[in-house]
Amino acid sequence: MVPLEDIEEKYRKMPDHLLLNFAREEIHLLTPDAFRLLLTEIRKRNLEWPEIIASQPEVQLQDEFQEMRIECLVQLKYFTGLGKNHWDIKVLLSEQEYPDHVIDYAFGKFEMETRERLPKADKHLLTGSVFFTSGLAILFLPLVPGKHLLVYILAYLLIIAGVGRFLHGLFLKRSIRKLLQQLKPK
């Protein structure tokens, strides 16, 4: 990795037009630290910022916005827990003076996290069905009750665990769908 001092020196030695060209064409390749150094050099020279820098809020000073994004995401989760809808939450977050791109980021991140929980709910439904079916299958085996007591206990445990896991999957899937519906703008 190139030391930050070398990057800073490179930017300092670039003529204005090359620095702005570099900013326009290479901004997507920069690390947050290199980007911060580039912005500092542009500000020192009082140069007009290239449009590309102004149009990429996700690149601009990621470290400064990271804490704000996390706070906004926590607030968003809190408000959804209170049953607020998309527009109410957006108004509440705007009143707390979060920028629009931070609010949009929080909505996108929360929706992505919520959608990632759907396969877990499906997994609970599937394994619950398998456990229940396995327990029933064992019960229908031609076994002598007195000699195979442990097998019957296992069968009943599988049935109970299967029902519990299936119901957990149903409730989880229902709550995820409700949350996703809450996040959608109407």
160 and 124 in a single domain? The answer is: yes
Please report the pLDDT score of residue 164 as a whole number: 96
The mean of the pLDDT values for the chain is 82
Residue 48 lies in a domain: yes
124 and 173 in a single domain? The answer is: yes
More confident residue, 35 or 171: 171
- The predicted-structure confidence for 149-158, as pLDDT tens digits, reads as follows 888 889 999 9
User: Residues 6 or more apart from 118 whose CB is under 8 A from it?
Assistant: 173, 176
Residue burial 138-159, b: 16+ Cβ < 10 Å; e: rest: beeeeeeeeeeeeebeebeebb
127 and 96 in a single domain? The answer is: no
Range of 101's domain?
A: 64-115
122 and 109 in a single domain? The answer is: no
Please report the pLDDT score of residue 65 as a whole number: 67
Q: Which of 25-34, 73-82, 105-114, 172-181 is predicted with the least confidence, judged by mean pLDDT?
A: 25-34
Please report the pLDDT score of residue 62 as a whole number: 53
Residues of the chain above pLDDT 90, percent: 23
20 and 43 in a single domain? The answer is: yes
> Is residue 127 pLDDT above 90, yes or no?
yes
- The predicted-structure confidence for 80-120, as pLDDT tens digits, reads as follows 888 888 888 888 888 888 888 778 888 888 888 888 889 99
- Give the whole-angstrom CA distance, residue 82 versus residue 40: 42
The answer to whether the beta carbons of residues 105 and 121 sit under 8 Å apart is no
- The predicted-structure confidence for 39-58, as pLDDT tens digits, reads as follows 788 878 877 765 545 545 44
- Give the whole-angstrom CA distance, residue 137 versus residue 171: 26
Residue 27 lies in a domain: yes
122 and 179 in a single domain? The answer is: yes
Residue in the block written with tokens 């690390």: 31
Residue 16 lies in a domain: yes
The answer to whether the beta carbons of residues 123 and 165 sit under 8 Å apart is no
More confident residue, 140 or 57: 140
- Give the whole-angstrom CA distance, residue 73 versus residue 132: 39
> Is residue 186 pLDDT above 50, yes or no?
yes
More confident residue, 101 or 141: 141
Residue 59 lies in a domain: no
Residue burial 26-50, b: 16+ Cβ < 10 Å; e: rest: ebeebeeebbbbbbebbeeeeeeeb
- Give the whole-angstrom CA distance, residue 89 versus residue 78: 10
128 and 177 in a single domain? The answer is: yes
User: Residues 6 or more apart from 86 whose CB is under 8 A from it?
Assistant: 107, 182, 183, 184, 185, 186
> How confident is the model over 5-14, as a mean pLDDT?
88
- Give the whole-angstrom CA distance, residue 178 versus residue 186: 14
131 and 95 in a single domain? The answer is: no
CB atoms within 10 A of CB 134: 16
Q: Which of 19-28, 54-63, 64-73 is predicted with the least confidence, judged by mean pLDDT?
A: 54-63
The answer to whether the beta carbons of residues 121 and 169 sit under 8 Å apart is yes
68 and 100 in a single domain? The answer is: yes
- What's the structural domain count of the chain? 3
More confident residue, 23 or 159: 159
